[in-house]
Structure 1
Amino acid sequence: MTWLETEGGPLVVVPRAALSHWSGTEGDYDRACEVMDFVGVLALPDGAEALVLGDEPLSTAYLPEHRVLVRWCYAESGDGVADIIRAGLPTAEWEEGPALSTTGELVMFDAAYFGIEVGTLTDSTALELGAGSYRVDSASVEPDHLTSFRVHRFVELA
């Protein structure tokens, strides 16, 4: 798994086609920092929507085969994380989250950066999703008292 981190603020997930509209520290970063829930949705000027991973600035990875973002709360090591998550998904107690509309591929990056800096000044992770509407549900995967991950799944809406 490839983990993405921030410099202390939230991560944001923006449609690739709308990256130029993410203003980073010129305004959108402040709006992203106001999200106190696990996830929140912000409107962008062009009608696109951005998903904010609120709460804490946790290391985050994407499991594309399950359309799940994995946020590292705590664990003794990184060995077998994907297997831990796969095993925990069927029994996770999901909390329904906000709806997010997208035109296709999403890009996750540190909210402090301008969208046009993705791929040059900041690392990012691509999330391959088809165009449409998704509900972003949240749950915890805690197989033992030494391991905890927060997960967010993209559930396609009809």
Structure 2
Amino acid sequence: MDWVESAGGPLLAAPATQLARWEGATDDEDDDAPVETWGDYGRACAVDGYIGLVGIGGAQGLVLGDEPATTTYLPEERLFLRWAAAESETELVHAAREAVRGVEWEEELDWDVDGAVVLFDSAWPGATPEPGNHLKIDLAPGRYRVRAAHTRDDRNWMILVQLQPVP
């Protein structure tokens, strides 16, 4: 299973058609300046909560915020699985598939996509995402209801972000 990691900031699921428009972090960012002034990366960092949207060209990217959790995508469940704590990948994936059936969703938003998206560390420019640390996700064009929740069982803690097509 492929996982995407962050160097400390949020992950971004950006439309593949708009990747070149995401500039990521710039060299001239001032650590003392408000994060909202840090360009594209700052806009992603400004998202409050588990999920949020940022404009990229004429489209929107989905920010996976809150904490820099290692993340994968389970296509059958249309689920971003964010690893907060677990002893093994196998246990975590199994726990996520069980949890998604009855979890109480904490946040929701609607997201319009034009097709495939690429998940990567938002600090990187979209034209050149970090080699070996990004994931292409094939989505049908359309509107999705995005739901997010933090959940855990005795051994696994995770953040779930599910995409549901809106008819």
TM over 0.5: yes
Give the counterpart letter for 1:150 in structure 2.
Answer: I
Q: Which secondary structure state, in structure 1, belongs to the residue aligned with residue 20 of structure 2?
A: helix
* Matched residues, number: 155
Matches within 5 A, 1:6-155: 6-26=6-26, 27-45=39-57, 47-118=58-129, 121=131, 123-144=133-154, 146-155=155-164
Q: Quick check: 1:41–1:51 contact (8 Å CA) kept in 2? A: yes
Q: Report the TM-score, using the length of structure 2 for normalisation.
A: 0.86
Structure 1 residue 93: Cα displacement: 1.0
Q: Report the TM-score, using the length of structure 1 for normalisation.
A: 0.91
Structure 1 residue 79: Cα displacement: 3.1
Q: Which runs of 5+ in 1 are unaligned?
A: none
Structure 1 residue 112: Cα displacement: 0.7
Structure 1 or 2: more helix by fraction? 1
- Alpha-carbon distance in structure 2 between the residues aligned to 1:123 and 1:79: 20
Give the counterpart letter for 2:7 in structure 1.
Answer: E
Deviation beyond 3 Å, 4+ runs, structure 1: none
- Alpha-carbon distance in structure 1 between the residues aligned to 2:91 and 2:131: 30
Give the counterpart letter for 1:157 in structure 2.
Answer: V
- Alpha-carbon distance in structure 2 between the residues aligned to 1:76 and 1:123: 22
Structure 1 residue 81: Cα displacement: 2.2
- Alpha-carbon distance in structure 2 between the residues aligned to 1:85 and 1:122: 24
Q: Which secondary structure state, in structure 1, belongs to the residue aligned with residue 41 of structure 2?
A: helix
How many percent identity over aligned positions?
Answer: 37
- Alpha-carbon distance in structure 2 between the residues aligned to 1:86 and 1:113: 30
Q: Which secondary structure state, in structure 2, belongs to the residue aligned with residue 85 of structure 1?
A: helix
Q: Which runs of 5+ in 2 are unaligned?
A: 27-38
Q: Which secondary structure state, in structure 2, belongs to the residue aligned with residue 24 of structure 1?
A: coil
